[in-house]
Amino acid sequence: MSSAPEPPRQRSVTTHDFVARKGSAQKLVVVTAYDALFGRLVDESGVDAVLVGDSLASVVAGQESTLAVTLDQMIYHARITRRGVTRALLIIDMPFLTYQVSTEQALLNCGHAMQKTGAQAVKLEGGSADIARTVHALTAIGIPVMGHLGFTPQSVHALGGFRVQGRDDGGAQRLLEEARRLEDAGAFAVVLELVPAAVAAAITHSVSIPTIGIGAGPSCDGQVLVLHDLLGLNDRFTPKFLKRYATLATDVRNAIGRFRDDVREGRYPDDEHSF
């Protein structure tokens, strides 16, 4: 008797697929992950891209900002996340001072990150002329780049803290110019973080590459959230833009509390859980 044929394996998402979804009715979905287990669970959930974000500084390491993350740490987390991600596009954040000092340093660091991790793209913050030149140099040698505008966490001190960007006409115009600059430099997509919805909509309609919003309203071509935030694991983080899809911090505390009580009162392990 012949066995049933295996279902066809779903093709991996590429940067070309990402760009092709620009303006599509089906929005792009991006979620962060920092390890193999969560990488696999996120990938199996059908998202389009997994971002190994430098947000791991606060989410995993308890730092106040992303500035303390090193390239070696990002490579470690991206490499282990890669083991769980087989279908979604895997993007690695390049940390502070790995691409801002010089184009040559950026080329070496970004190339090294991709070699060591298997990531298919890097993400850089900012839209200055210098950053655009770096993006152009990276894409020229075959390294796909996702941009990041608006609130850029690596510039948190220069921006005066965690705050919405582009509220006035000058700020909105600057963001639009930066988005076009990144587009011209060859970026395949751009994250818009903490940007007024109307400004994000204007940028989205003005560039040919997908915009991925986080706190940037509904008009972007896709949305990204930090995994621990959307799962309600990081329940001390309560920005206006965040929608929680679970309350796992409560579940974790309750589960560990039940384990604590069972151990203290001799209910665990019982015969069922003993050899």
Q: Kindly write down the DSSP assignment for every residue of 126-181, as one continuous string.
A: --SHHHHHHHHHHHHTT--EEEEEES-GGGTTTTTSS-----SHHHHHHHHHHHHH
**Cis peptide before 144, with omega less than 30 degrees from 0?**
no
Cβ–Cβ < 8 Å for 177, 185: no
Q: Which of 125, 178, 183, 193 is labelled catalytic?
A: 193
List, in sequence order, every beta strand (DSSP E) within the chain. 28-32, 49-52, 89-93, 121-123, 145-150, 189-193, 211-214, 222-225
Closest by CA to 42, choosing from 84, 99, 91, is: 84
CA atoms within a 13 Å half-sphere pointing along the CA-CB vector of 37: 0
Please, which residues bridge with residue 91 across strands? Answer: 51, 121
Cβ–Cβ < 8 Å for 15, 144: yes
> Is 193 among the catalytic positions?
yes
Distance CA 217, CA 118 (A): 32
Q: List residues with catalytic annotation.
A: 193
